[in-house]
Amino acid sequence: MTTIKGIVVSLKANYMEVEIDLNKYFTSSDSSNKNNRFLCTRRRSLEYKDSLIYVGDNVELDAVDWKHYRAAIKSVDNRNNFFSRPPVANISHIFIVISLDCPKLDYRQVNNFLLTAEQSSVDVSIILTKSDLIEKNFIQEQVYRFQDWGYNSIITSIVDGRGINDLIDKLKSIKLSLLCGPSGVGKTSLLKYILPDQSLRIGKLSKKLLRGTNTTRHVELFALDQGARVADTPGFNRPELLVNPRNFPNLFPELRVQLENFPCKFRDCLHRDEPGCGISKSWERYSLYRKQLDEMINSYRSFQVD
Ligand SMILES: Nc1nc2c(ncn2[C@@H]2O[C@H](COP(=O)(O)OP(=O)(O)O)[C@@H](O)[C@H]2O)c(=O)[nH]1
Ligand SMILES: [Mg+2]
Ligand SMILES: [Zn+2]
């Protein structure tokens, strides 16, 4: 029997759900009456090795039971990357989802989500939701602003359907997308709109807080196409920066492009008024950069400036 490989799409207590590409193993007429989702345990040998399995992992199956759709995970492929908030392996693109209104757009918060995503070194872009709630000029301003920060934005609304086709096209071109952002911005709603037949839970917008209640709890991958999956990120609404100050400049695309030409005299320049620093200070996030870097240096005790 050929080895069967698949991708872990959800974790349930001691079980993992693994999806396989039936077309790889059967002719289309044979695969049409088959389920592609298996409930899996993991082989003892894996437990001994203490190797954890995450959503997004590519795995090899053993003891495949085609009648009850059960199997055992025999091995886990090496990961390209691993994102810890939420725990997902092998991500190819992170979308920071931000609502244009309700909750109100908060640049500091957007910045923190972007920096957290940048730590993973995968491609990052922005989805601006709830465009039905806000006027055109304001929306265009935000698109230009985030362009200056180095990011493309897709503008969406599930009320009038704006941007949904663009978003679907984009998502279909990406192997594994992750939607991250504050609670209540409409991440689950977007997925539900795009994948109406899948069971996603939407939060009711609490009038007091103007934020969605936290209804989605575990990470799950949803398939848009064969080879294109997307993950909602329930319960991981607080971004987290854990970075050496030396690497901090690399988290800003608008700074990265400036650094390509080695404009600074010293290689370890942090662009805080050092002699021979060739970085321009006329970019919008520079003040945020300075402030966060200073805080980081103060809390990063072992780190020596100069
Ligand atoms: N007006 C408007 N409301 C939206 C839109 N998308 C989502 N919402 C509402 O925002 C609230 C929070 O949505 P939810 O998908 O649970 O947000 P999540 O926490 O990011 O997953 C819900 O009441 C949705 O109906 C939109 O495009 N326009
Ligand atoms: Mg949600
Ligand atoms: Zn510099």
**CB of 298 closer than 8 Å to CB of 305:** no
Query: Cα(first)–Cα(last) distance of the chain, in Å?
Result: 62
| Domain tally, the chain | 3
Please report which helix (H) or strand (E) contains residue 113, including its range: helix 107-118
Q: What is the CATH number of the domain that holds 65?
A: 2.40.50.140
104 plus 174 within the same structural domain: yes
17 plus 67 within the same structural domain: yes
65 plus 89 within the same structural domain: no
Q: Report the separation in Å between the CA atom of 84 and the middle of ligand 2, taken as the mean of its atom positions.
A: 18
The answer to whether residue 236 sits within a structural domain is no
The answer to whether residue 306 sits within a structural domain is no
177 plus 114 within the same structural domain: yes
User: Torsion over CA of 245, 248, 249 and 251, rounded to 10 degrees?
Assistant: 180
The answer to whether residue 240 sits within a structural domain is no
The answer to whether residue 304 sits within a structural domain is no
72 plus 88 within the same structural domain: no
pLDDT per residue rounded down to tens, the chain (306 residues):
678 999 999 987 778 999 998 888 888 787 777 888 999 998 877 766 667 899 999 999 999 999 999 999 999 999 999 988 788 999 999 999 999 999 999 999 999 999 999 988 899 999 999 999 999 999 999 999 999 999 999 999 999 999 999 999 999 999 999 999 999 999 999 999 998 666 554 444 434 433 444 444 578 899 888 789 999 876 666 667 777 889 999 999 999 999 999 999 999 999 999 999 999 999 999 999 999 999 888 876 554 544
Residue 272 phi, psi (nearest 5): -120, 55
Looking at the CA of 279, name the nearest ligand.
3
222 plus 140 within the same structural domain: yes
152 plus 257 within the same structural domain: no
State residue 268's pLDDT score: 92
38 plus 127 within the same structural domain: no
Evaluate if pTM is beyond 0.75.
yes
State residue 68's pLDDT score: 92
Kindly state the DSSP code that residue 132 receives in the 8-state scheme: G
Ligand 2 being an ion, which residues bring their Cβ within 5 A of it? 187-188, 216
State residue 33's pLDDT score: 79
Q: What is the CATH number of the domain that holds 276?
A: 1.10.40
Q: Which of 132, 134, 202 to mutate to test the pocket of ligand 1 (most atoms within 8 A of CB)?
A: 202
Please report which helix (H) or strand (E) contains residue 141, including its range: helix 136-148
The answer to whether residue 140 sits within a structural domain is yes
195 plus 95 within the same structural domain: yes
11 plus 38 within the same structural domain: yes
Q: What is the CATH number of the domain that holds 101?
A: 3.40.50.300
The distance of Cα 224 from the centroid of its chain, to the nearest Å, equals: 16
Last residue of a domain, one of 76, 108, 139: 76
Range of the domain at 208: 82-231
Query: Would you call 48 exposed, middle or buried from its count of C-beta atoms within 10 A (0-12, 13-18, 19+)?
Result: exposed
Query: Of ligand 1's atoms, which has the minimum distance to the CA of residue 191?
Result: 15
The answer to whether residue 238 sits within a structural domain is no
Last residue of a domain, one of 44, 76, 108: 76
Q: Which of 241, 254, 262, 246 is nearest to 285 (CA)?
A: 254
135 plus 40 within the same structural domain: no
Residue 46 phi, psi (nearest 5): -70, -40
The answer to whether residue 239 sits within a structural domain is no
Tell whether the torsion through CA atoms of 178, 184, 190 and 195 is positive or negative. positive
Residues with CB under 6 A from ligand 1: 129-130, 132-133, 157-159, 183-189, 202-205, 212
221 plus 253 within the same structural domain: no
What is the rounded CA–CA span in Å between residue 279 and residue 165? 39
The answer to whether residue 154 sits within a structural domain is yes
State residue 50's pLDDT score: 60
State residue 195's pLDDT score: 85
Last residue of a domain, one of 231, 260, 282: 231
